[in-house]
Amino acid sequence: MTTQMAREIAEQPEAVARTLDGLRPLRGELHRLAEGTRHILFVARGSSDNACVYGRYLVETHAHRMAGLAAPSVATHYHAEVDLTDALVVCVSQSGETREIVETQEWAAGRGARTVAVTNDGTSALARGADLTLATDAGREYAVPATKTYTTQLTAMAVLATALAPDPTSLDADLARVPAQMSELVERREGVDAAAAQLAKSAETLVSGRGLLFGTALEVALKLEETCLRPVRGLSYADLRHGPIAVVDADVAAIVVAAKDGPVVGGLTEVATDLARRGATTIGIGGDAAFGAACALSVPGPDLPEMVAPLAAVVPGQLMVESLARRLGLDPDAPRGLSKVTQTDAG
């Protein structure tokens, strides 16, 4: 029986293509809204926060603008009186109704920020309160784990970063290839079920990545936790090497996520080798030939350059999670104790 999560994973190529088509015409408005600002701040929770990690890296490396992740509690609990007149604040929520994110956007606007909402509901409270809304076109998502709403948020991040870049069209050719690459990964499923079988046998799991794909690593870790009910650590390989790697042994399955190119793939290959040396079973997603050879199991990623690879690199991870949940006798569509719209404690 096909799960709803599996169906929505398969819907991602069309959802990303629709979102690209819908948001590209807004680049001019984004550029004008950001004029005169010096900083880009992202506000989100959960999977949306992982999308913002990609947004931050892409804004800094491609648009050459300083960016960061803001803590919503600074607004909702501490009510900090900060000057945001030089900031573009990007608030991200799949539903657009997470009260904490809506309140943070109101707080930012009240302190002089220009605001952009990224949401799958263009009529939501978040959208209504923003200076400009990037409404993703994922369609209705029924499974609790975010899949197509997450990848369409990544698409919005790419549109935002290119709008702020010196040449807004510089990534367009690569972005246009994303839907086909996603479709190929869904159809082939190469290495996915073998990786899920290994994860089912492992007592502990960690996920690592770095740079533009660090958010992908965090998202795969989150999906494993919420869908398969297992404690998982998602770590930058730099942080992993600063201590946590000491606890790695033969009981650990280590998933390492990499693009096929870029300045960090060599370091990720070294980490995969080091993890294997310590007894871990290493599962590689993506990377180049050397990276794949360093891993016990190699799951192909997209044939896309690092700047846009995150839009499709998460697909093998999503497929692994869905497969693992079924192996464990769990319902990936409705993980225990979760709902589609999560509200944090009141401020």
Instruction: Give 286-301 pLDDT, tens digit per residue.
Output: 999 999 999 999 999 9
Given this model, what pLDDT does residue 340 score?
53
Q: Where do runs of H (alpha helix) occur along 130-288?
A: 148-164, 172-176, 178-188, 192-201, 214-228, 237-241, 265-277
Quote the tokens at residue 201.
């046998």
For residues 60 and 38, what is the distance between their CA atoms, to the nearest angstrom?
12
For residues 273 and 296, what is the distance between their CA atoms, to the nearest angstrom?
10
* Cβ-Cβ contacts under 8 Å for 9 (sequence gap 6 or more): 147, 148, 186, 315, 318, 319, 322
Reported pTM: 0.96
Residue (of 77, 79, 8, 89) closest to 42 by Cα position: 89
Helix H or strand E encompassing 90: strand 87-92
* Cβ-Cβ contacts under 8 Å for 94 (sequence gap 6 or more): 47, 48, 119, 120, 141, 146, 149, 150, 153
* Cβ-Cβ contacts under 8 Å for 260 (sequence gap 6 or more): 286, 287, 288, 301, 302, 303, 304, 305, 306, 309
Given this model, what pLDDT does residue 268 score?
96
Region of 229 on the Ramachandran plot (φ > 0 left; ψ -120 to 50 alpha; else beta): left
Q: Identity (one letter) of the amino acid at 167?
A: D
For residues 229 and 109, what is the distance between their CA atoms, to the nearest angstrom?
38
Q: How many residues does the chain have?
A: 347
- The single-letter DSSP state of residue 118 is E
For residues 315 and 312, what is the distance between their CA atoms, to the nearest angstrom?
6
For residues 10 and 257, what is the distance between their CA atoms, to the nearest angstrom?
21
For residues 312 and 87, what is the distance between their CA atoms, to the nearest angstrom?
30
Collapsing DSSP to helix, strand or coil, 66 comes out as strand
For residues 150 and 309, what is the distance between their CA atoms, to the nearest angstrom?
14
Q: Which residue has the tokens 């999670």?
A: 321
Please give the angle made by the CA atoms of 303, 308 and 314, to the nearest 5 degrees.
75
Q: Helix, strand, coil proportions of the chain in percent (round to 5)?
A: 50, 15, 35
Residue (of 201, 210, 211, 228) closest to 317 by Cα position: 228
* Residues linked to residue 257 through DSSP beta bridges, in sequence order: 285
- The single-letter DSSP state of residue 165 is S
* Cβ-Cβ contacts under 8 Å for 156 (sequence gap 6 or more): 19, 23, 51, 92, 118, 134, 136
CB 30 within 8 A of CB 132: yes
Given this model, what pLDDT does residue 51 score?
98
* Full pLDDT tens readout for the chain, 347 residues: 699 999 999 999 999 999 999 999 999 999 999 999 999 999 999 999 999 999 999 999 999 999 999 999 999 999 999 999 999 999 999 999 999 999 999 999 999 999 999 999 999 999 999 999 999 999 999 999 999 999 999 999 999 999 999 999 999 999 999 999 999 999 999 999 999 999 999 989 999 999 999 999 999 999 999 999 988 989 887 887 777 777 788 999 999 999 999 999 999 999 999 999 999 999 999 999 999 999 999 999 999 999 999 999 999 999 999 999 999 999 999 987 565 555 565 45
Could you give phi then psi for residue 243, rounded to 5 degrees?
145, -55
Residue (of 204, 231, 43, 173) closest to 119 by Cα position: 43
**How far is Cα of residue 201 from the mean position of the Cα atoms in its chain?**
26
